[in-house]
Amino acid sequence: MGDTAPPHTGVWAGLVGQQDTIATLQRAVAGHGMTHAWLFTGPPGSGRSNAAIAFAAALQCERGFGCGDCHACRTTLAGSHPDVSITRSETSMLYIKDMRDLVHRSALAPVERRHQVMIIEDADRLGDAVGRTGNTLLKAIEEPTPKTVWLLCAPTTEDVLPTIRSRCRSVSLATPSPEQVARFLVERQGVSESVAAFAARASQGHIGRAKALASDEKFRSRRREVVALPQGLTSLGACLNAAANLVDIAKDETAVLTERSNARDVKDLEALYGDDRRSKASRAYRASLRELQHSQKQREKRRVMDVIDRSLMDIMSVYRDAIVLQTGASGGLVNEEVRGMVADMARRSTPEDNIRRIDAVFAAREQMMEFNTTPLLALEAMMVALRTP
């Protein structure tokens, strides 16, 4: 299959701490253990989507190993290769019509005669789409055309329908260590060692967050604000204010991005129907506008929830650090820069108190993610449970 390359070069260079996964994928590209459907799993930020895209680039590579320099590698990594389809959900689900389009494209012959690669970044959101497309999607994954390869991504194998995961070869990605993340930021992003060390700890192995923390002072400032919340939860009023502040932080962070994407969507719809007044008064236009507005609301909700979820992980890290100090457990603090605050919290609580608080954070996440509870209500209940006497 051509030349070979060390795992840290070419299309694999952006995968941090994933040497075992890279070795498996490189062997598959070389023809050893290759199959038609793969399931990439790993915790948030581990790089499962990046691994799938790198694998797709290597499969399309003109030199046969993922050199990172040829036209096929560069266009795949940029998301513009004609034979690589990437489906990602900006809402809480993957829509049926998107899956039908994907199944149709998967049956087409590849333009450049290598592979037709179908990447689904949020395979854990496929449930409703599979149910309503019947066996079409399942059959496409189980019995693809000879040159079609499906690459699905999800947090764990249990998050994917059994009927889908049974058709895939599973690849599990690990959480990179702080040292690996810091080294990546210094060597690949040109970040100073001190900032890289902070971003690596604070991101808790999430590469995307580490990059944002290393490069954006506003991002770092928002995190400092969130990490300081637990210390101030000393009264009912403070708890309610903290919940409202957390929602406001999420809305502020997503507002500009949402406004831009919504304006772009409307502009595209206007261009589709033109300036003709009768076209815009048509039933088809009004239906398209309603569908667009619904999609925009779902997308905005997803973005806000993603920021809130990230904030909850930051809050949880404070209680984790307090337990580390209380028990003398090995390992450094995630929030080393506020060790004094964490130590004060540790003195005023017990490990059991902080375990219960971590449970309260998980309960709030479940209420919002699984039971669709209004974020403000779930966060108010959580903050009260976190209250310090």
In this prediction, the residues of the chain whose per-residue pLDDT falls under 50 are 1-4, 134
Q: Total structural domains in the chain?
A: 3
Q: Give the alpha-carbon dihedral of 44, 45, 48, 51, to 10 degrees.
A: 180
300 and 359: one domain? yes
DSSP 8-class letter at 43: S
Beta bridge partners of 85: 118
Q: Please tell me the predicted confidence (pLDDT) of residue 7.
A: 54
332 and 314: one domain? yes
- The beta-strand segments (E) located in the chain are 37-41, 84-87, 116-120, 148-154, 169-172
In a domain, 49, yes or no: yes
19 and 57: one domain? yes
192 and 76: one domain? no
- What is the Cα 63 distance to its own chain's centre? 30
293 and 236: one domain? yes
Q: Please tell me the predicted confidence (pLDDT) of residue 95.
A: 61
Q: Please tell me the predicted confidence (pLDDT) of residue 2.
A: 45
Q: Please tell me the predicted confidence (pLDDT) of residue 1.
A: 41
Prediction pTM value: 0.81
In a domain, 134, yes or no: yes
> Are residues 47 and 59 in contact, defined by beta-carbon separation less than 8 angstroms?
no
In a domain, 225, yes or no: no
